[in-house]
Structure 1
Amino acid sequence: MDRWLAVGLTNPEGEYGGTRHNIGADVIRALAARQSTDLKPHKAQALVADTWDRPGGTPLTLAVPFGYMNNSGGPVQQLVRFYKMPTERVIVVADELDLEPGVLKLKRGGTSGHNGFRDVKNKLGADDYIRLRFGIGRPPGQMPGAKYVLGRFSTSERAEVIDVAVEEAADTILRIVGDGFDAAQNRLHTT
Protein backbone atom coordinates (compact mmCIF):
# COMPACT_ATOMS: atom_id res chain seq x y z
CA MET A 1 0.00 0.00 0.00
CA ASP A 2 1.20 3.50 -0.76
CA ARG A 3 2.44 5.49 2.21
CA TRP A 4 1.08 8.90 3.24
CA LEU A 5 3.04 11.66 5.00
CA ALA A 6 1.36 14.10 7.40
CA VAL A 7 3.49 17.06 8.49
CA GLY A 8 2.70 19.68 11.13
CA LEU A 9 4.49 22.97 10.52
CA THR A 10 6.01 24.61 13.58
CA ASN A 11 8.68 26.81 15.10
CA PRO A 12 11.15 25.34 17.63
CA GLU A 13 9.06 23.82 20.40
CA GLY A 14 11.33 24.92 23.25
CA GLU A 15 10.67 28.59 22.57
CA TYR A 16 7.35 28.53 20.71
CA GLY A 17 5.50 25.45 21.99
CA GLY A 18 1.81 26.09 22.59
CA THR A 19 1.69 29.16 20.33
CA ARG A 20 -0.90 29.66 17.59
CA HIS A 21 1.84 29.26 14.97
CA ASN A 22 2.65 25.75 16.25
CA ILE A 23 -0.89 24.36 15.93
CA GLY A 24 0.17 22.12 13.02
CA ALA A 25 2.64 20.33 15.28
CA ASP A 26 -0.06 20.03 17.96
CA VAL A 27 -2.26 18.15 15.47
CA ILE A 28 0.53 15.72 14.56
CA ARG A 29 1.42 15.13 18.22
CA ALA A 30 -2.24 14.45 19.04
CA LEU A 31 -2.45 11.97 16.18
CA ALA A 32 0.76 10.26 17.28
CA ALA A 33 -0.61 9.94 20.83
CA ARG A 34 -3.85 8.53 19.46
CA GLN A 35 -1.87 5.99 17.42
CA SER A 36 0.22 5.13 20.52
CA THR A 37 3.47 5.99 18.78
CA ASP A 38 6.36 8.30 19.63
CA LEU A 39 7.89 10.91 17.35
CA LYS A 40 11.67 10.35 17.18
CA PRO A 41 14.52 12.32 15.61
CA HIS A 42 15.09 11.47 11.94
CA LYS A 43 17.97 12.36 9.62
CA ALA A 44 15.50 14.47 7.59
CA GLN A 45 15.69 17.13 10.32
CA ALA A 46 12.32 16.26 11.80
CA LEU A 47 10.64 14.25 14.52
CA VAL A 48 9.08 11.26 12.76
CA ALA A 49 6.82 8.30 13.58
CA ASP A 50 5.79 5.52 11.21
CA THR A 51 2.30 4.22 11.88
CA TRP A 52 -0.91 3.19 10.09
CA ASP A 53 -4.21 4.95 9.54
CA ARG A 54 -5.77 1.94 11.30
CA PRO A 55 -4.40 -1.45 12.37
CA GLY A 56 -3.30 -3.28 9.23
CA GLY A 57 -4.29 -0.31 7.08
CA THR A 58 -2.40 2.21 5.00
CA PRO A 59 1.12 3.25 6.12
CA LEU A 60 1.18 6.77 7.54
CA THR A 61 4.29 8.72 8.51
CA LEU A 62 3.84 11.61 10.95
CA ALA A 63 6.42 14.39 11.05
CA VAL A 64 7.21 17.66 12.81
CA PRO A 65 10.18 19.48 11.23
CA PHE A 66 12.97 20.91 13.36
CA GLY A 67 13.76 24.56 12.89
CA TYR A 68 11.53 27.40 11.82
CA MET A 69 8.20 27.47 10.02
CA ASN A 70 9.52 29.43 7.02
CA ASN A 71 12.16 26.73 6.36
CA SER A 72 9.87 23.71 6.63
CA GLY A 73 10.17 22.69 2.99
CA GLY A 74 13.63 21.12 3.32
CA PRO A 75 12.62 18.47 5.87
CA VAL A 76 9.41 17.73 3.93
CA GLN A 77 11.41 17.33 0.72
CA GLN A 78 13.90 15.02 2.49
CA LEU A 79 11.08 12.83 3.84
CA VAL A 80 9.43 12.56 0.41
CA ARG A 81 12.78 11.43 -1.01
CA PHE A 82 13.51 9.06 1.90
CA TYR A 83 10.16 7.30 1.54
CA LYS A 84 10.17 7.58 -2.28
CA MET A 85 6.61 8.86 -2.29
CA PRO A 86 4.56 11.06 -4.61
CA THR A 87 3.90 14.62 -3.46
CA GLU A 88 0.13 14.16 -3.81
CA ARG A 89 0.33 11.91 -0.73
CA VAL A 90 1.74 14.69 1.46
CA ILE A 91 -0.60 16.41 3.93
CA VAL A 92 0.71 19.63 5.51
CA VAL A 93 -1.04 21.19 8.53
CA ALA A 94 -0.50 24.82 9.55
CA ASP A 95 -2.19 27.81 11.14
CA GLU A 96 -4.40 30.15 9.12
CA LEU A 97 -5.14 33.76 10.09
CA ASP A 98 -7.99 34.08 7.58
CA LEU A 99 -10.14 31.40 9.23
CA GLU A 100 -11.98 31.72 12.53
CA PRO A 101 -10.39 29.83 15.43
CA GLY A 102 -10.93 26.09 15.07
CA VAL A 103 -12.25 26.21 11.48
CA LEU A 104 -10.53 23.66 9.21
CA LYS A 105 -10.21 23.81 5.42
CA LEU A 106 -8.67 21.35 2.96
CA LYS A 107 -7.20 22.25 -0.39
CA ARG A 108 -4.73 20.82 -2.88
CA GLY A 109 -1.70 22.98 -3.54
CA GLY A 110 -1.29 26.70 -3.14
CA THR A 111 0.06 28.71 -0.24
CA SER A 112 -2.60 31.23 0.91
CA GLY A 113 0.35 33.60 1.37
CA HIS A 114 1.62 31.43 4.24
CA ASN A 115 5.43 31.32 4.29
CA GLY A 116 5.57 27.76 5.60
CA PHE A 117 3.30 26.46 2.84
CA ARG A 118 5.26 28.52 0.31
CA ASP A 119 8.56 26.93 1.36
CA VAL A 120 7.03 23.44 1.17
CA LYS A 121 5.68 24.13 -2.31
CA ASN A 122 9.00 25.55 -3.49
CA LYS A 123 11.12 22.71 -2.08
CA LEU A 124 8.78 19.99 -3.38
CA GLY A 125 8.72 21.64 -6.79
CA ALA A 126 5.07 20.55 -6.96
CA ASP A 127 1.69 22.02 -6.20
CA ASP A 128 -0.34 18.87 -5.63
CA TYR A 129 0.29 18.35 -1.91
CA ILE A 130 -2.66 18.71 0.47
CA ARG A 131 -3.01 21.71 2.76
CA LEU A 132 -4.99 21.36 5.98
CA ARG A 133 -5.48 24.94 7.15
CA PHE A 134 -6.27 25.35 10.86
CA GLY A 135 -8.02 28.62 11.70
CA ILE A 136 -6.53 30.77 14.44
CA GLY A 137 -8.43 33.99 13.64
CA ARG A 138 -7.21 37.52 13.07
CA PRO A 139 -5.29 39.57 15.64
CA PRO A 140 -7.40 41.90 17.77
CA GLY A 141 -7.24 45.64 17.18
CA GLN A 142 -3.93 46.84 15.79
CA MET A 143 -1.85 43.91 17.05
CA PRO A 144 0.75 42.90 14.44
CA GLY A 145 0.16 39.48 12.86
CA ALA A 146 3.64 38.25 13.82
CA LYS A 147 3.02 39.00 17.50
CA TYR A 148 -0.41 37.36 17.38
CA VAL A 149 0.72 34.07 15.80
CA LEU A 150 3.52 33.76 18.36
CA GLY A 151 1.04 34.26 21.22
CA ARG A 152 -0.87 31.54 23.01
CA PHE A 153 -4.57 30.71 22.99
CA SER A 154 -6.51 31.65 26.12
CA THR A 155 -7.25 28.76 28.47
CA SER A 156 -10.96 28.86 27.66
CA GLU A 157 -10.42 29.13 23.88
CA ARG A 158 -8.00 26.22 24.02
CA ALA A 159 -10.42 24.02 25.99
CA GLU A 160 -13.65 24.99 24.22
CA VAL A 161 -12.52 25.40 20.60
CA ILE A 162 -8.91 24.57 19.77
CA ASP A 163 -8.50 21.18 21.48
CA VAL A 164 -11.74 19.99 19.83
CA ALA A 165 -10.50 21.20 16.43
CA VAL A 166 -7.11 19.51 16.95
CA GLU A 167 -8.94 16.17 17.30
CA GLU A 168 -11.11 16.99 14.26
CA ALA A 169 -7.95 17.77 12.27
CA ALA A 170 -6.47 14.41 13.32
CA ASP A 171 -9.71 12.72 12.21
CA THR A 172 -9.48 14.55 8.88
CA ILE A 173 -5.94 13.28 8.25
CA LEU A 174 -7.08 9.71 8.90
CA ARG A 175 -10.10 10.26 6.64
CA ILE A 176 -7.85 11.49 3.80
CA VAL A 177 -5.67 8.39 4.12
CA GLY A 178 -8.58 5.97 4.47
CA ASP A 179 -11.24 7.45 2.20
CA GLY A 180 -9.35 9.81 -0.11
CA PHE A 181 -9.01 13.56 -0.43
CA ASP A 182 -12.39 14.25 -2.08
CA ALA A 183 -14.40 12.34 0.52
CA ALA A 184 -12.49 13.99 3.39
CA GLN A 185 -12.91 17.45 1.86
CA ASN A 186 -16.66 16.93 1.29
CA ARG A 187 -17.17 15.72 4.84
CA LEU A 188 -15.13 18.54 6.38
CA HIS A 189 -16.68 21.33 4.33
CA THR A 190 -20.30 20.19 4.69
CA THR A 191 -20.45 19.50 8.44
Structure 2
Amino acid sequence: MKLIVGLGNPGERYAQTRHNVGWLVVDELARRAGASWRRDGEAETAEVRFGPAPGEKVLLVKPQTFMNASGKAVWPLVGFYKLEGEQLLIVQDDLDSPFGLLKFRLGGRHGGQNGVRDLIARLGHDRFPRLKIGISRPPPGRDPADWVLSKWRDEERSTLNELVRLGADAAECWAARGLAEAQQLYNGTDLRPPPPAPTPPPPGPELAPPQDTQD
Protein backbone atom coordinates (compact mmCIF):
# COMPACT_ATOMS: atom_id res chain seq x y z
CA MET A 1 0.00 0.00 0.00
CA LYS A 2 1.14 3.52 -0.86
CA LEU A 3 -0.44 6.94 -0.45
CA ILE A 4 -0.43 9.73 -3.03
CA VAL A 5 -1.62 12.96 -1.42
CA GLY A 6 -2.58 15.97 -3.50
CA LEU A 7 -2.37 19.15 -1.43
CA GLY A 8 -5.05 21.80 -1.80
CA ASN A 9 -7.96 23.63 -0.21
CA PRO A 10 -11.54 22.29 -0.21
CA GLY A 11 -14.44 24.17 -1.75
CA GLU A 12 -15.37 25.51 -5.17
CA ARG A 13 -13.74 28.86 -4.40
CA TYR A 14 -10.28 27.23 -4.47
CA ALA A 15 -10.83 24.58 -7.14
CA GLN A 16 -8.89 26.27 -9.95
CA THR A 17 -6.27 28.13 -7.92
CA ARG A 18 -2.51 27.62 -8.11
CA HIS A 19 -2.41 26.20 -4.58
CA ASN A 20 -4.65 23.31 -5.70
CA VAL A 21 -2.49 21.91 -8.48
CA GLY A 22 -1.86 18.82 -6.31
CA TRP A 23 -5.59 18.12 -6.33
CA LEU A 24 -5.66 18.37 -10.11
CA VAL A 25 -3.01 15.64 -10.36
CA VAL A 26 -4.76 13.16 -8.05
CA ASP A 27 -8.10 13.91 -9.74
CA GLU A 28 -6.45 12.96 -13.05
CA LEU A 29 -5.14 9.72 -11.54
CA ALA A 30 -8.61 8.84 -10.24
CA ARG A 31 -10.17 9.69 -13.61
CA ARG A 32 -7.78 7.39 -15.47
CA ALA A 33 -8.53 4.50 -13.11
CA GLY A 34 -12.29 5.09 -13.09
CA ALA A 35 -12.11 5.37 -9.29
CA SER A 36 -14.68 7.14 -7.12
CA TRP A 37 -13.92 9.46 -4.23
CA ARG A 38 -15.36 8.77 -0.78
CA ARG A 39 -15.15 10.53 2.55
CA ASP A 40 -12.56 9.00 4.89
CA GLY A 41 -12.18 10.98 8.12
CA GLU A 42 -10.72 14.40 7.30
CA ALA A 43 -9.96 13.41 3.69
CA GLU A 44 -11.49 12.17 0.48
CA THR A 45 -9.85 8.97 -0.77
CA ALA A 46 -9.95 6.80 -3.88
CA GLU A 47 -8.34 3.37 -4.21
CA VAL A 48 -6.45 2.50 -7.41
CA ARG A 49 -3.77 0.09 -8.62
CA PHE A 50 -0.74 0.85 -10.77
CA GLY A 51 1.74 -1.35 -12.59
CA PRO A 52 1.51 -4.92 -13.96
CA ALA A 53 -1.43 -6.96 -12.64
CA PRO A 54 -2.38 -7.21 -9.87
CA GLY A 55 -0.61 -3.87 -9.49
CA GLU A 56 0.53 -1.77 -6.56
CA LYS A 57 -2.38 -0.78 -4.32
CA VAL A 58 -2.46 3.00 -3.93
CA LEU A 59 -4.76 5.26 -1.94
CA LEU A 60 -5.25 8.69 -3.50
CA VAL A 61 -5.90 11.37 -0.90
CA LYS A 62 -7.37 14.88 -0.99
CA PRO A 63 -7.26 16.45 2.49
CA GLN A 64 -10.53 18.19 3.36
CA THR A 65 -8.86 20.36 5.97
CA PHE A 66 -7.48 23.63 4.70
CA MET A 67 -3.90 23.65 3.44
CA ASN A 68 -2.36 24.73 6.75
CA ALA A 69 -3.78 21.63 8.48
CA SER A 70 -3.03 19.04 5.77
CA GLY A 71 -1.22 16.79 8.23
CA LYS A 72 -4.38 16.47 10.32
CA ALA A 73 -6.02 14.65 7.41
CA VAL A 74 -3.00 12.56 6.39
CA TRP A 75 -1.34 11.28 9.55
CA PRO A 76 -4.32 9.09 10.65
CA LEU A 77 -4.17 7.30 7.28
CA VAL A 78 -0.40 6.83 7.58
CA GLY A 79 -0.90 5.38 11.07
CA PHE A 80 -3.84 3.16 10.11
CA TYR A 81 -1.98 1.56 7.20
CA LYS A 82 1.34 1.50 9.15
CA LEU A 83 3.23 3.22 6.33
CA GLU A 84 6.83 4.35 6.29
CA GLY A 85 7.73 7.78 4.95
CA GLU A 86 8.94 6.37 1.63
CA GLN A 87 5.44 4.99 0.98
CA LEU A 88 3.91 8.46 1.02
CA LEU A 89 4.10 10.84 -1.96
CA ILE A 90 3.03 14.46 -1.55
CA VAL A 91 2.04 16.33 -4.73
CA GLN A 92 2.44 20.05 -4.04
CA ASP A 93 2.67 23.45 -5.67
CA ASP A 94 6.11 25.08 -5.53
CA LEU A 95 6.60 28.85 -5.58
CA ASP A 96 10.35 28.51 -6.05
CA SER A 97 10.08 26.57 -9.32
CA PRO A 98 9.06 28.16 -12.63
CA PHE A 99 5.63 27.35 -14.00
CA GLY A 100 6.09 24.40 -16.34
CA LEU A 101 8.72 22.61 -14.24
CA LEU A 102 8.18 19.49 -12.15
CA LYS A 103 10.61 17.47 -10.07
CA PHE A 104 10.77 14.85 -7.34
CA ARG A 105 12.54 15.47 -4.07
CA LEU A 106 13.04 13.18 -1.08
CA GLY A 107 12.88 14.87 2.33
CA GLY A 108 14.17 18.30 3.22
CA ARG A 109 12.57 21.42 4.63
CA HIS A 110 9.09 22.65 3.77
CA GLY A 111 10.31 25.66 1.77
CA GLY A 112 7.42 27.80 3.01
CA GLN A 113 4.71 25.43 1.72
CA ASN A 114 2.32 25.35 4.68
CA GLY A 115 0.77 22.00 3.85
CA VAL A 116 4.19 20.35 3.86
CA ARG A 117 5.07 22.30 7.03
CA ASP A 118 2.07 20.78 8.84
CA LEU A 119 2.80 17.30 7.53
CA ILE A 120 6.35 17.44 8.86
CA ALA A 121 5.11 18.67 12.24
CA ARG A 122 2.43 15.98 12.63
CA LEU A 123 4.39 13.05 11.19
CA GLY A 124 7.47 14.05 13.18
CA HIS A 125 9.87 13.72 10.23
CA ASP A 126 10.48 14.98 6.69
CA ARG A 127 11.49 11.66 5.12
CA PHE A 128 8.79 11.47 2.49
CA PRO A 129 9.08 12.15 -1.26
CA ARG A 130 7.39 15.17 -2.84
CA LEU A 131 6.42 15.85 -6.42
CA LYS A 132 6.88 19.59 -6.71
CA ILE A 133 5.00 21.40 -9.47
CA GLY A 134 6.22 24.88 -10.27
CA ILE A 135 3.79 27.78 -10.14
CA SER A 136 6.46 30.54 -10.26
CA ARG A 137 6.97 33.48 -7.95
CA PRO A 138 4.36 36.25 -8.14
CA PRO A 139 4.98 39.37 -10.20
CA PRO A 140 6.84 42.15 -8.37
CA GLY A 141 4.71 43.83 -5.74
CA ARG A 142 2.16 41.00 -5.44
CA ASP A 143 1.73 39.17 -2.14
CA PRO A 144 2.70 35.46 -2.44
CA ALA A 145 -0.30 34.50 -0.25
CA ASP A 146 -2.61 36.21 -2.74
CA TRP A 147 -0.74 34.71 -5.71
CA VAL A 148 -1.12 31.06 -4.63
CA LEU A 149 -4.88 31.58 -4.22
CA SER A 150 -5.27 33.23 -7.63
CA LYS A 151 -6.93 31.49 -10.57
CA TRP A 152 -5.01 30.21 -13.56
CA ARG A 153 -5.02 32.60 -16.50
CA ASP A 154 -6.54 31.51 -19.82
CA GLU A 155 -3.16 31.65 -21.56
CA GLU A 156 -1.73 29.21 -18.98
CA ARG A 157 -4.35 26.53 -19.53
CA SER A 158 -2.68 24.48 -22.25
CA THR A 159 0.59 24.29 -20.29
CA LEU A 160 -1.31 23.52 -17.08
CA ASN A 161 -3.21 20.64 -18.71
CA GLU A 162 0.03 19.12 -20.00
CA LEU A 163 1.73 19.65 -16.64
CA VAL A 164 -1.10 17.87 -14.81
CA ARG A 165 -0.97 15.00 -17.31
CA LEU A 166 2.78 14.61 -16.85
CA GLY A 167 2.45 15.00 -13.10
CA ALA A 168 -0.02 12.11 -13.06
CA ASP A 169 2.34 10.02 -15.22
CA ALA A 170 5.19 10.80 -12.82
CA ALA A 171 3.16 9.91 -9.71
CA GLU A 172 2.03 6.65 -11.32
CA CYS A 173 5.64 5.82 -12.17
CA TRP A 174 6.66 6.46 -8.55
CA ALA A 175 3.95 4.11 -7.29
CA ALA A 176 4.72 1.30 -9.74
CA ARG A 177 8.49 1.58 -10.21
CA GLY A 178 9.92 3.56 -7.32
CA LEU A 179 11.40 6.97 -6.65
CA ALA A 180 14.77 6.50 -8.35
CA GLU A 181 13.25 5.60 -11.70
CA ALA A 182 10.62 8.33 -11.42
CA GLN A 183 13.34 10.90 -10.76
CA GLN A 184 15.38 9.67 -13.70
CA LEU A 185 12.43 9.88 -16.08
CA TYR A 186 10.69 13.05 -14.93
CA ASN A 187 13.07 15.40 -13.13
CA GLY A 188 14.03 16.97 -16.44
CA THR A 189 10.43 17.91 -17.28
CA ASP A 190 10.29 21.56 -18.30
CA LEU A 191 7.38 22.89 -20.34
CA ARG A 192 8.57 26.48 -20.44
CA PRO A 193 8.87 27.84 -23.98
CA PRO A 194 12.46 28.15 -25.18
CA PRO A 195 13.93 31.65 -24.99
CA PRO A 196 13.76 33.60 -28.24
CA ALA A 197 16.76 33.35 -30.50
CA PRO A 198 19.01 36.39 -30.32
CA THR A 199 18.34 38.98 -32.98
CA PRO A 200 21.25 39.15 -35.42
CA PRO A 201 22.88 42.57 -35.68
CA PRO A 202 21.82 44.66 -38.67
CA PRO A 203 24.17 44.49 -41.64
CA GLY A 204 26.78 47.23 -41.79
CA PRO A 205 27.05 49.67 -44.68
CA GLU A 206 28.09 48.12 -47.95
CA LEU A 207 31.66 49.10 -48.80
CA ALA A 208 32.61 50.05 -52.34
CA PRO A 209 35.26 47.84 -53.91
CA PRO A 210 38.74 49.34 -53.97
CA GLN A 211 39.60 51.28 -57.11
CA ASP A 212 42.57 50.29 -59.26
CA THR A 213 45.03 53.14 -59.72
CA GLN A 214 47.74 53.34 -62.39
CA ASP A 215 50.82 55.53 -62.35
Q: Shorter-normalised TM-score: what interval?
A: over 0.9
Match of 1:15 in 2: 13
Q: Distance in 2 between matches of 1:186 and 1:35?
A: 24
Q: CA deviation at 1:190?
A: 3.6
Q: TM-score, normalised by structure 1?
A: 0.93
What stretches of structure 1 of length at least 5 have no aligned partner?
A: none
Residue from 90, 93, 101 that aligns with 1:92: 90
Are residues 1:49 and 2:35 paired?
A: no
Q: Is the 8 A contact 1:94 1:133 kept in 2?
A: yes
Q: Distance in 2 between matches of 1:141 and 1:122?
A: 31
Match of 2:118 in 1: 119
Structure with the largest fraction of helix: 1
Q: CA deviation at 1:102?
A: 2.3
- Displaced runs of 4+ in structure 1, greater than 4 A? none
Q: TM-score, normalised by structure 2?
A: 0.83
Q: Distance in 2 between matches of 1:13 and 1:78?
A: 22
Match of 2:69 in 1: 71
Are residues 1:173 and 2:171 paired?
A: yes
Q: Distance in 1 between matches of 2:92 and 2:187?
A: 17
Are residues 1:40 and 2:34 paired?
A: no
Match of 2:150 in 1: 151
Q: Is the 8 A contact 1:49 1:61 kept in 2?
A: yes
| Amino acid in the other structure paired with 2:131 | L
Q: Distance in 1 between matches of 2:113 and 2:131?
A: 12
Match of 1:104 in 2: 102
Match of 1:133 in 2: 132
- Aligned identity (percent) is 36
Q: Is the 8 A contact 1:105 1:189 kept in 2?
A: yes
SS in structure 2 at match of 1:34: helix
Q: Distance in 1 between matches of 2:144 and 2:98?
A: 14
What stretches of structure 2 of length at least 5 have no aligned partner?
A: 190-215
CA deviations on 1:121-172 (whole Å, 9 max, x unpaired) are: 111112211111110111112111011111011122112x111010111111
Q: Is the 8 A contact 1:109 1:121 kept in 2?
A: no
Aligned length: 187
